[in-house]
Structure 1
Amino acid sequence: MSRTRWRLGLSATALLTATAVLPAPAHAEDVTDYTITVDPAAQGAAIDDTMYGVFFEDINRAADGGLYAELVQNRSFEYSTADNASYTPLTSWSVTGAAEAVNDSGRLNERNRTYLSLGAGSSVTNAGYNTGIRVEQGKKYDFSVWARAEGGTTLTVTLKDAAGTLATARQVAVKGGWARYRATFTATRTSNRGRLAVAATNAAALDMVSLFPRDTYKNQPNGLRKDLAEKIEALRPGFLRFPGGCLVNTGSMEDYSEASGWQRERSYQWKDTIGPVEQRATNANFWGYNQSYGLGYYEYFRFAEDIGAMPLPVVPALVTGCGQNKATDDEALLKRHIQDTLDLIEFANGPATSTWGKVRARMGHPRPFHLTHIGVGNEENLPHEFYARFQKFRAAIEAKYPEITVVSNSGPDDSGTTFETAWKLNREGGVDMVDEHYYNSPQWFLQNNDRYDSYDRNGPKVFLGEYASQGNAWKNALAEAAYMTGLERNADVVKLASYAPLLANEDYVQWRPDMIWFNNRASWGSANYEVQKLFMNNVGDRVVPSRATGTPSVSGPITGAIGLSTWATSAAYDDVKVTAADGSTLLSDDFSDGAARWKQVGGGSWSVQDGQYVQTDAAAENTLVTAGDPAWKDYDLHVKATKKSGKEGFLVAFGVKDTGNYYWWNLGGWNNTQSAVEQASDGGKSTVISKAGSIETGRAYDIDIKVRGRQVTLYLDGQEWGRFTDDKPAEPFRQVVTRDARTGELIVKVVNAQDTAARTAIDLGGAEVASRARVTTLAADQDAVNTETDTPVTPVSSTFSGVADTFTYTFPANSVTFLRIPRR
């Protein structure tokens, strides 16, 4: 996600915005004192125009029913039970009379295989997405359909809801073979529950039944939903990474055939997504639904250009990720994918006379899209297998297109065996850029502001392609803002960064958190969106070195009860014993007298069977049961665990304060591919330590966990598995200072992620500055969440007239504040 253009700051209009009242400390004791010292004579890292961008993946119905403006669901009758057990070719359609989905030689084309045979006097009605088809009074909607009626028929097309018609009906005369027919509606009422109905006087065949709002983003045909596209544009992103994500490198990598002998891959293929929309494939989506590919590679490139963002496509490396962990040995298939990637670059950059440049030109864009970066692979858990294939992609790309930066990756986590192995291979191979992904708790982000301080300045650059704190409350956005100050401070290493995921339809959510939420009638930015927007619109061109005092903290020992759990697995536990450091017994339970000491706080089905405590539901996730005292400290925990069935292993918890705050040793997690200690903090999890490994079904394991102060040592079958010390402070006060070369302004960015105000003495080190600064503040209660009807996290613009070489500014509790200080 990259581009040139954004760094201006607040407009004059924004400065005139009514200023809201910010939270203020009620008492003197509600203020913590800090200092910030700036060194304007020193030179920090240069910040590229492409520093911050956006990552689009078709998850949470982000494309069909979302950014892609098509209002009809399953418009081509291609939904299939083979893709989703609940789907049929008539999903989202209702029939009156006689109608049948047909797949025979009379089809529209080889990629659009299923069509609807509609009987005389019959009709079909489409329900759209969410509550129905959204139309607004006075606005135009463009209908189209591919139809065939050898004997001729009249189609009557209506827009209606339960209260009646929403527009004047249209009649379309159809005769002969397949052809496209069009009509336009003007809505007479506003409704969120519209239905599109098509009725035929005589028998007809229908396909690609479509309804688009005329008012799409930039009024483009086959266009984007305006409000969503404009919210993304308002971020002024430097790059657009697409089309995923897990959907890029998952699904079958083998061809499959139907009775007709037709073959294609069920993984994402960019060539399936271009050309006339009626000739594009519909395919299964990794996230559990079908995608029409109406929003395809051409539209992605066009959107990137429209918002001034660098296009950054990601192609599969023929090693699956996201828990699938398979690598193809089909050399011919690998060569074809490599050639497809070369063809993609030609499609983006080739002259209109080239083979694939000609395709782009025919679609309406004779000029190149100026592709400079391309990602190969996504979150592969098999680093050696991935890197061997990545090298082949890179060699082929660099041989033909040496100007293209080929981006590798480091797997799905911020640390662990896969991460370390992948980085080692990438460093040794001289890779230009490595894509890191991680989703962690707010505490992790507050603890790891210095993550990139120690990265090799001469090694591969970092593309932080996916990151987020695990939630959409203001406390999550505050933690991300604090972390972003560290990204900017290390802009010589971190060249690209994008929050993920970008979009979520509130009625079709596969993943949380998400930046922009929507339904069929409205969209709204999360608290995280407001942080991203503030940073992305006020980046600056270079870091001005600065330092700040920290927050005094006192960290006691790890305390908490113990717990047992499973995840998509049935397991049995026995011989639980907790011993204090002095040797006294805190808990001993062999379950001979039942399980009265245990409290079930998760799901699943627990019972005592044959002297063991057994969780029998192999589909249930997070089945936590707890025992003991939350005040326990300095203890040894022993338990015997046996996997009985299921996908994973078992989880043993310690330091359990409550259901949202604990540690657990996850043995055989991630589809039984690795083990890790995870820390839950306010419901969000982060990985403390991890290793590859699996758990055998039917084997009894001895698990021992030794807790001393803040150090934990873990033993598996009597052998030390690992150890860690959790003593890193979660610093709530962070800052970074940058300079805008165009305006000469210093931009002082301060995050105060705590419930007390931060009274701060700021020393600008002799910089020649004006006395008046423009200020943008985000402040709210930590648990505040933006919704469709309430947006407590909203930027407030103001001015501050007390700027001097040294001055004091009080940053509100739980706030992100940017001061743009002009030079004198």
Structure 2
Amino acid sequence: MSRRRARLLLGVAALAGAVVVPPSAAADDAVTDYTLRVDTAGSGPEIADSMYGVFFEDINRAADGGLYAELVQNRSFEYDPADNGGYTGLTSWTPSGAAQVVDDAERLNERNRRYLRLDLTGSGGHGVTNAGYNTGIPLTRGDKYDFSVWARTSNAAGTPLTIRLTDAGGAVLARPTTLTVRGDRWTKYTATLRADSTSATGRLRITATGSGTVRLDMVSLFPDETFLNRPNGLRKDLAEKIAALEPGFVRFPGGCLVNTGSHYGYEAPNWERRRSYQWKDTIGPVEERATNANFWGYNQSYGLGYFEYFQFSEDIGAMPLPVVPALVTGCGENRVTDDPALLQRHIQDALDLIEFANGPATSPWGAKRAAMGHPAPFGLTHIGVGNEENLPDAFHERFLRFRAAIAERYPEITVISNSGPDDTGPVFDRHWQLNRASGVDMVDEHYYNDPRWFLENNDRYDSYDRSGPKVFLGEYASRDNRFANALAEASFMTGLERNADVVELAAYAPLLANVDYVQWRPDMIWFDNHRSWGSASYEVQKLFMTNVGDSVVPSRASGTPALTAPITGAIGLSTWATSAAYDDVSVTSEDGTALFADDFSAGADRWTHSSGRGTWSVQDGAYVQADAGAQDTMVTAGDPSWSDYTLRAKATKRAGSEGFLVAFGVRDTGNFYWWNLGGWNNSRSAVERAVDGGKSSMVERPTTIETGRTYDLRIDVRGRQVSLYLDGALWATFADDEVAEPFRHVVTRDERTGELIVKVVNAQASAARTEIDLGATPISPTATLTTLQGPPDAVNTVDSQPIRPVRSTIKTAGSRFTHTFPPHSVTIVRLNPTT
């Protein structure tokens, strides 16, 4: 039996809520005819049980306020304005009476330095109220909630603490309970409260009475029921949605937060400055774990730490795949830490991590794991080093040091390198050159592109070297959450499966998004403080991940008749975190006819400020965007029907961190091309194509832009061919003529059931009438179908999930039959051979 099929589903139906209705194309729908031939006697690549997994990064408040079930925000009073300009030690708290956050010798411990001091003077109570995350603390009538606090008091008689759950207006939602703090040494106190009412705006109120001084730290409130009822556990509904995917692996903890930050050591002042992710900070008793400032702009408590990641992976039958920093930053920071002793310490940290995961309970780090309640090893097999480094040579030099040390002590561990942040370009090429030359086992690729890119690049891995490094597609997604994006991703996934001998692991990203803390879109699972729902991409991922199969069956299909049209559109000027001046903008047709010319001597009335961002005005005969902090400041001019033209402009960077952007083929604010000169903090330049707001790179060069220098720019658009000239010299040329094939498929075999699994994606408005030919293989007269279908602009929300799986059956009438796949659909057909 396939291990995938044998996994515990934890009571979560893979197709919960599916409606059994047979899909069909309406009689008046447009129909395109296809053929699909399956070589049932042939054999293709085997597909690992671990092929599809999930990538968890604490982005969009995915951990605290998300998967980590803690309901109290800033529970240890460690928030600080140095981490986030809007933070104080009392963020999310409302004090009453003499409440003060302090950091002195009375602290709980050296990694949890700040605490709340209440000086009990006068009559009445003194205390604090916590508002949790989002709209408040979610409470459900009848459910129990586990409260805890570390406290000490100077009052020899003891200090009563009254614990209440209320709504935002103060109405009591649970019977209060009172604890008595005794002694002036830190002690943990606990209580359980049962909610009498349901509320999404709950508050936790703590009131102290009496005299003297009482100190509080690590104030916590957990739902009594967590995922698998584990202590310090996970939010049940989110964890169940992840488990329902049946992921083969869990990559953690990032992402950008792995290898970015101001410190790489344990010496960050006060333990709350932003550092790269230190796994040793995240294990052991939660009150002894350091708080860190997250790369994404908020603090992380590390209550969800490495032990919990390993435990969750084990609970859902997934392979753990941690990633450690290599002292070369990525994600736009582009810095190298040259400190041999620090590098050696990080290498030792990686060795200690493997021991923590796999070592016997008698080993130093295995003993720490055992002390946390897991004496048996976790069975770690893979570890990633680094993430999206833009400095490939510096990264690779350090990566080889990590790999050598790990191979010497743990030769069974696969050490994964990476290829930078993009799907192509000089950084990507150099990474791969170094990885191949060094015989790297596996390379982590990342890319986020528009839907069309995914439709065009189904064959991306067809030409990869079968004897070279394997691919771990650690992060990919189409940049939005519409069904059109999910369809494009599904199309691409058929190519991943077809190339399972090269692409051994793949994960959509990001996994989670809190609706009130969104930093990146797309996202797979959305949530607020008490509800969660899967996006259209979630439904696609679940459909593929629960219908993988064990090997690829050779097959081929006819294609869609190609439609060719020239690049058409108006022109545009823009900036990104830069002030720039433009002058002498002109457009001429291929035969030299003047279509547009503007030297701004008469103002800028011919330009439309389509973005509304930035400050544009005519200054000294040039069109100037003066706000060096504004992003994406596009202004446009001309005719959207223009084709086969030459655009010329002069551009000068005046101030800021990047260069300038000149757009062509502009159809609207979300669909255009632009020449991005000096982008990515002036580290490189590229032509990007925007489709419905999502961008992908067409060509890239290591060009940077000088401040104060005027550049002559020329862009020739001929059909779908584009040539770009910088100061009269050819900078690059490209043809945007890849076929965005809307009809894709892959066939796999389930060894346990013997079924053929036919996966078909029809990402177009026409129904796909398809003749399916299985050769001489007889099959059962009926087949089961699971279909996702809907308008391409459909989006799953908290109130409506139009993209949901529909199950049905069809009659096959032998080994050759015709089925019409609906427009804008993903369909899984399971066929049962009768031989």
Would you say same fold, with TM above 0.5? yes
Report deviation, 1:265: 7.1
Letter of the aligned partner of 1:19 in structure 2? V
Q: Tell me which amino acid in the other structure corresponds to 2:245.
A: L
How far 1:18 moved relative to its partner? 3.9
Query: For residues 35-55 of structure 1, what are the alpha-carbon distances to aligned partners after superposition, in whole Å with 9 as ceiling and x for unaligned?
Result: 000001111111000110000
Alignment check: 8 A CA contact 1:7 1:540 kept: no
Return the offset for 1:84: 0.8
The whole-number CA distance in structure 2 between the counterparts of 1:158 and 1:327 is 50
**Conserved? CA contact 1:3–1:308, under 8 Å:** no
Is the 2:273–2:292 Cα contact (8 Å) retained in structure 1? Answer: no
1:189 aligns with 2:197: yes
Give the one of 155, 170, 176 matched to 2:161: 155
Aligned AA (1:57): E
The answer to whether the 8 Å contact 1:6/1:49 transfers is: no
Which residue matches 2:298? 289
Per-residue deviation, 1:259: 7.8
- Structure-1 residue corresponding to 2:569: 560
- Residue of structure 1 equivalent to 2:89: 89
Name the structure 2 match of 1:303: 312
CA distance in 2: counterparts of 1:380 and 1:535, whole angstroms? 30
Compute the displacement of 1:20 (Å): 3.7
In structure 1, distance between residues paired with 2:590 and 2:6: 58
Does structure 1 residue 137 correspond to structure 2 residue 137? no
Query: What one-letter code is carried by the residue in structure 2 that aligns with 1:727?
Result: D
Measured in 1, the distance between the counterparts of 2:248 and 2:19 equals 30
In 2, Cα distance between equivalents of 1:264 and 1:285 = 9
Closer/same/farther in 2, CA of residues 285 and 6 from structure 1, 3 Å limit:
farther
Aligned match for 1:146, one of 145, 150, 153: 150
* Deviation per residue, 1:190-237 (Å, 9 max, x gap): 000000011111330000000000110000000000000000000000
**CA positional deviation for 1:802:** 2.3
Separation (CA, whole Å) in 1 of partners of 2:142 and 2:98: 34
For 1:464, the equivalent position in structure 2 comes to 473
Q: What corresponds to 1:785 in structure 2?
A: 795
Structure-2 change in CA distance of 1:617 and 1:811 (3 Å): same
Aligned to 1:32: 32
Residue 93 of structure 1 aligns to which amino acid in structure 2?
W
Residue range with higher mean Cα deviation, 147-156 or 205-214: 147-156
Structure 1 segment 337-736 matched on structure 2, within 5 A: 337-602=346-611, 603-736=613-746
Residue number in structure 2 paired with 1:122: 126
Q: CA deviation at 1:661?
A: 1.2
Aligned 8 A contact 1:7 1:740 in 2? no
1:366 aligned partner, one-letter code: P
Q: Give the AA of the match of 2:509.
A: A
1:198 corresponds to: 206
Describe the shift of the 1:254–1:234 C-alpha distance in structure 2 as closer, same or farther (beyond 3 A).
closer
Change (3 A) 1:259 1:499: closer
Task: Say whether residues 1:280 and 2:284 are aligned partners.
Answer: no
Instruction: Answer whether contact 2:152 2:186 (CA < 8 A) is retained.
Output: yes
Q: CA deviation at 1:554?
A: 1.8
Deviation of 1:398 (Å): 0.5
Q: Secondary structure at the match of 2:52?
A: coil
Equivalent position of 1:774 in the other structure: 784
From the superposition, tell whether residues 266 and 259 of structure 1 become closer, same or farther in structure 2 (CA, over 3 Å). Answer: closer
Structure 1, unmatched stretches of 5+, are none
CA shift for structure 1 position 255: 5.1
Alpha-carbon separation, structure 2, partners of 1:483 and 1:196? 47
Work out whether residues 95 and 125 of structure 1, in 8 Å CA contact, stay in contact via their aligned partners in 2.
yes
Aligned-residue offset at 1:264: 8.1
CA distance in structure 2 between the partners assigned to 1:652 and 1:16 by the alignment: 48
Deviation at 1:247, TM superposition (A): 0.3
How far off is 1:30 after superposition? 1.0
State the distance in 1 between where 2:600 and 2:683 align: 30
Q: Deviations over 1:648-690 (max 9, x none)?
A: 1110001111111111000111111110000011221111111
Q: Which amino acid aligns with 1:398?
A: A
The whole-number CA distance in structure 2 between the counterparts of 1:234 and 1:147 is: 40
How well do the aligned residues superpose, as a CA RMSD in angstroms?
Answer: 1.8
1:526-548 Cα shifts (integer Å, max 9, x gaps): 00000000000000000001101
- The whole-number CA distance in structure 1 between the counterparts of 2:295 and 2:4 is 33
Quote the sequence identity (%). 68
Q: Deviations over 1:323-358 (max 9, x none)?
A: 000001111110100000000000000000000000
Match of 1:180, as an amino acid? Answer: K
Please give the alpha-carbon distance, in whole angstroms, between the structure 2 residues aligned to 1:98 and 1:779: 59
- Is 1:214 the counterpart of 2:217? The answer is no
CA distance in structure 1 between the aligned counterparts of 2:135 and 2:672, rounded to whole angstroms: 39
For residues 34-83 of structure 1, what are the alpha-carbon distances to aligned partners after superposition, in whole Å with 9 as ceiling and x for unaligned?
A: 10000011111110001100000000000000000000000000001111
Q: CA shift at 1:254, angstroms?
A: 5.0
Correspondence for 2:174: 167
Tell me the distance in 2 between the aligned counterparts of 1:104 and 1:14. Answer: 54
Q: Distance in 1 between the 2:279 and 2:14 partners?
A: 42
- AA aligned to 1:86 is G
Are residue 755 (structure 1) and residue 761 (structure 2) matched? no
Which letter does structure 2 place at the counterpart of 1:438? Answer: Y
Q: How far apart in 1 are the matches of 2:610 and 2:14?
A: 52
C-alpha spacing 1:776/1:6, structure 2 compared with 1 (3 Å)? farther
- Given that 1:467 and 1:498 are in contact with CA atoms closer than 8 Å, whether structure 2 keeps it comes out as yes
Change (3 A) 1:131 1:590: same
Partner SS for 1:707: strand
Amino acid at match of 1:816: V
Per the normalisation by structure 1, the TM-score is 0.98
Q: Which residue of structure 2 lines up, in the alignment, with residue 179 of structure 1?
A: 187
CA distance in 1, matches of 2:769, 2:266: 65
